């Protein structure tokens, strides 16, 4: 049975970047449950194929495409494949993201803070900012044709309060929040909304280096009393992807209230 019926996902074509795991995976599955034609973008085909198999339980139309969102040729080729397959794009979830891996004993905000070389630093901007930019530019002309589009960007609370990660990660996420507002202003008249979610800590493969103690600390300082799961983020992304939405250019903090503490 189709879920989220009131959100109007049935028959809509939705691209989710970083769909091979974590928040992107959960979002793709929920959109498939809503009856959307789901397109999975990511760099590792094996991961995408597993998510595709799960999505196929709910939707007959699922595409898995190898795409590096920081590479313009890859983005343009993959978006062209979506158009060839489905002829339209209604929803774009810019969710792909990267994090530094830590050596034992190292912390983002401690020892790693002042060690980033230029290439490492710029890599974050290529995925989190330029990646959103080129995905939007490739997809928006197709949304304009139908005078409809829903774009949702996964940013981070670190892009708001600048903590928990490296300066490159936090600065690139702050940039993604501002870029969300810029695209919202430019394309509102095309009935294209552009919003962002800013997750706090979420239990996904990205957090593989986090210790049980770190999870416990976050859970303890979170008014809702636990660390988020991917599905918690997916539900907010779906809210911003719904058909009837009079909200644009906003970034919603999704951290169980922990920034109140
Ligand atoms: N987990 C958290 O605590 C947390 C908190 C705040 C914000 N976020 C944000 O949430 C988003 C989703 O992360 P997650 O937590 O779900 O982590 P995740 O499980 O590691 O998912 C990130 C996905 O992005 C893909 N990806 C990375 N670089 C890519 C590229 N250049 N092109 C295409 N795909 C790429 C990865 O797959 P491949 O490597 O196979 O491409 C991976 O499947 C990210 O933007 C992250 O910054 C996460």
169 is catalytic: yes
Q: Which residues of 70-85 are buried (b: 16+ CB within 10 A; e: fewer)?
A: bbbebbeebbeebeee
**Phi, psi angles (nearest 5°) of residue 198:** -120, 90
Going by their DSSP bridges, the two strands 251-254 and 192-199 should be labelled as parallel
CA distances from 106 to 20, 21, 113, 187 (A): 27, 25, 10, 42
Radius of gyration over alpha carbons of the chain, in Å? 18
Report the separation in Å between the CA atom of 204 and the middle of ligand 1, taken as the mean of its atom positions. 9
Average pLDDT over residues 20-40: 98
pLDDT bin (cut points 50, 70, 90) of residue 67 is very high
Q: Could you tell me if the CB of 44 is within 6 A of ligand 1?
A: yes
Residue 22 CB: number of other CB atoms within 10 A?
A: 22
pTM comes to 0.98
Q: Count helices and strands (H / E) in the chain.
A: 9, 7
Position 79 scores a pLDDT of 99
Looking at domain 5-260, its CATH class is alpha beta
CA distances from 234 to 23, 56, 147, 190 (A): 6, 18, 25, 25
Q: How far apart are alpha carbons 94 and 42 in whole angstroms?
A: 11
Answer left, alpha or beta for residue 86, where phi above 0 means left and psi between -120 and 50 means alpha: alpha
Q: Domain ranges for the chain, please list them.
A: 5-260
Tokens 């509102």 belong to residue: 188
Tokens 């809503």 belong to residue: 34
Report yes or no: 97 and 154 within 8 Å, Cβ to Cβ: yes
- The string of pLDDT tens digits covering residues 214-235 is 999 999 999 999 999 999 999 9
Report the separation in Å between the CA atom of 199 and the middle of ligand 1, taken as the mean of its atom positions. 12
Report yes or no: 69 and 135 within 8 Å, Cβ to Cβ: yes
Residue 164 pLDDT greater than 80, yes or no = no
pLDDT above 90: percentage of residues in the chain: 89
pLDDT bin (cut points 50, 70, 90) of residue 108 is confident
Q: Could you tell me if the CB of 126 is within 6 A of ligand 1?
A: no
Position 30 scores a pLDDT of 98
Report yes or no: 254 and 236 within 8 Å, Cβ to Cβ: yes
Question: How long, in residues, is the chain?
Answer: 261
82: nearest Cα among 133, 136, 37 = 37
Read off the DSSP letter of residue 18.
T
Position 252 scores a pLDDT of 98
H-type alpha helices, the chain: 22-33, 45-55, 72-86, 118-125, 131-145, 158-161, 167-187, 212-221, 230-241
Position 110 scores a pLDDT of 81
Average pLDDT over residues 242-259: 97
Residue 168 pLDDT greater than 90, yes or no = yes
Q: Could you tell me if the CB of 68 is within 6 A of ligand 1?
A: yes
Residue from 86, 164, 169, 187 carrying the catalytic annotation: 169
Q: Hey, is 97 helix, strand or coil? A: coil
Position 85 scores a pLDDT of 98
Position 261 scores a pLDDT of 76
Read off the DSSP letter of residue 66.
E
Position 111 scores a pLDDT of 83
Report the separation in Å between the CA atom of 189 and the middle of ligand 1, taken as the mean of its atom positions. 30
Q: Could you tell me if the CB of 193 is within 6 A of ligand 1?
A: no
Position 118 scores a pLDDT of 97
Q: Hey, is 151 helix, strand or coil? A: strand
Q: Could you tell me if the CB of 69 is within 6 A of ligand 1?
A: yes
Report the separation in Å between the CA atom of 6 and the middle of ligand 1, taken as the mean of its atom positions. 28
């Amino acid at each position: 049975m189709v879920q989220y019926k009131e959100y109007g996902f049935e028959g809509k074509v939705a691209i989710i970047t970083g769909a091979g795991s974590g928040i992107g995976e959960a979002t793709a599955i929920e959109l498939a449950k809503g009856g959307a034609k789901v397109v999975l973008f990511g760099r590792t085909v094996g991961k995408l194929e597993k998510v595709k198999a799960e999505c196929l339980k709910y939707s007959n139309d699922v595409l898995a495409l190898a795409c590096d969102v920081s590479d313009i040729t890859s983005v343009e080729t993959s978006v062209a494949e979506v158009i060839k397959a489905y002829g339209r794009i209604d929803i774009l979830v810019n969710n792909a993201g990267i994090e530094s891996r830590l050596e034992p004993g190292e912390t983002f905000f401690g020892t790693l803070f002042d060690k980033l070389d230029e290439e490492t630093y710029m890599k974050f901007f290529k995925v989190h900012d330029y990646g959103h930019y080129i995905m939007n530019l490739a997809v928006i002309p197709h949304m304009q044709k139908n005078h409809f589009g829903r774009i949702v960007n996964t940013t981070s609370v670190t892009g708001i309060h600048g903590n928990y990660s490296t300066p490159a990660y936090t600065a690139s996420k702050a940039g993604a929040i501002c870029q969300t507002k810029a695209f919202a202003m430019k394309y509102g008249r095309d009935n294209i909304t552009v919003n962002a979610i800013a997750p706090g800590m979420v239990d996904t493969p990205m957090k593989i280096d986090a210790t049980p103690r770190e999870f416990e600390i976050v859970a303890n300082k979170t008014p809702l009393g636990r660390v988020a799961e991917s599905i918690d983020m997916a539900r907010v992304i779906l809210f911003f992807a719904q058909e009837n939405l009079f909200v644009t250019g906003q970034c919603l903090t999704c951290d169980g209230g922990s920034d109140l503490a």
